Amino acid sequence: MALTALSACDKVDEGEFIVFAGAAGQWYDDDGSDALDATQRVLVEKYTGVRCRNCPLADDVIHDALARYGSQLVALAIHPQGSNYTIPYGNEPDLSTAAGKTWNDYNGFSAYPQATLNRTGDSFVPTANFDARIDALLAATPKIGLGISCARKSGDTLDITVRVEFLTNVDEELNLTLAVSENGIATTQKMPDGSDNAGYVQNHVLRAVITDIWGAAVDKGSADGATGSRRVAHFAYRMENDGWSSENCSIVAFVSRRDNNTILNAAECAVSL
């Protein structure tokens, strides 16, 4: 099941909000009635491909890190479109995306695996323990708290609610990016010994970016990002059958600085349909 934005002429009126495609939802002041987890999280973006023989080693390292850090670590596996490493085997599903190519080209990667953490500009080959990098980012005082929830509203429409709390004064202009990831995709994968593993399971695969590729503007409201202010936005997306397994999909959200794309915080919710 794929998540497809409602067309610009379609709108969803749920009483308290109207959502148009291409916009960062309709933003409102949050009354604080719902508790918001202000945990600092780290987004690891791994650039990979089914024909990349060392990428399974990176998968193992990230899998182990996710087990250690739990919800403090969010993962995306990005298969950039147009790379020789991402050409599918036979009639198997194509995991590459145009968004992945745009992000890859921005980073200047030509060989995989490569990874970034919160888009800090520090890229590395994630085939060894990278806890020190994660710990340094988690130790920083968070500037924003970020929460996301996913719920079925009616039929095939998914309601995504994003809450932002400014934990300190935030002067930077911010963007919010929403993406779809999927676990449990079986493909053939080139392995470190050069063999082809026909039953390899791909996880955290970037399927689509719901917002604009670099995100959509976060409306700070009249408080303009002052400490303690909270904002909430809703997004409505229609589920259409595109060969994805909705029970294995998640929505990944992250807020980044518009001037340099550094991620301030990330969050994830499972699609519940």
Lowest mean pLDDT among 32-36, 56-60, 74-78, 229-233: 32-36
- Give the tens place of pLDDT for each residue, 167-188: 999 999 999 999 999 999 999 9
Q: How many domains does the chain have?
A: 1
- Give the tens place of pLDDT for each residue, 86-122: 999 999 999 999 999 999 999 999 999 999 999 999 8
* DSSP at 167: S
pLDDT at 239: 61
What integer best gives the mean pLDDT of the chain?
Answer: 88
Sequence-ordered list of residues with C-beta below 8 angstroms from that of 211, at least 6 positions apart, any chain: 24, 175, 176, 177, 178
CATH number of the domain within which 152 lies: 2.60.40.10
pLDDT at 22: 43
Would you state the structure tokens that stand for residue 177, as one six-digit string? 């990016």
Closest of 151, 147, 153, 173 to residue 231, by C-alpha: 147
pTM of the complete model: 0.90
**Identity of the residue numbered 152:** R
pLDDT at residue 28 greater than cutoff 80: yes
Mean pLDDT of 52-73: 97
**Identity of the residue numbered 144:** I
Closest of 77, 71, 45, 62 to residue 130, by C-alpha: 62
Q: How many CB atoms lie within 10 A of CB 248?
A: 16
Is residue 190 within 8 Å of 196, Cβ to Cβ? yes
* DSSP at 264: E
Half-sphere exposure at residue 271, Cβ-oriented, CA atoms within 13 angstroms: 26
In this prediction, residue 6 has a pLDDT band, given cuts at 50, 70 and 90, of: very low
pLDDT at residue 257 greater than cutoff 80: yes
pLDDT at 244: 84
Q: Which domain holds residue 106?
A: 2-270
Mean pLDDT of 212-230: 92
Mean pLDDT of 131-159: 88
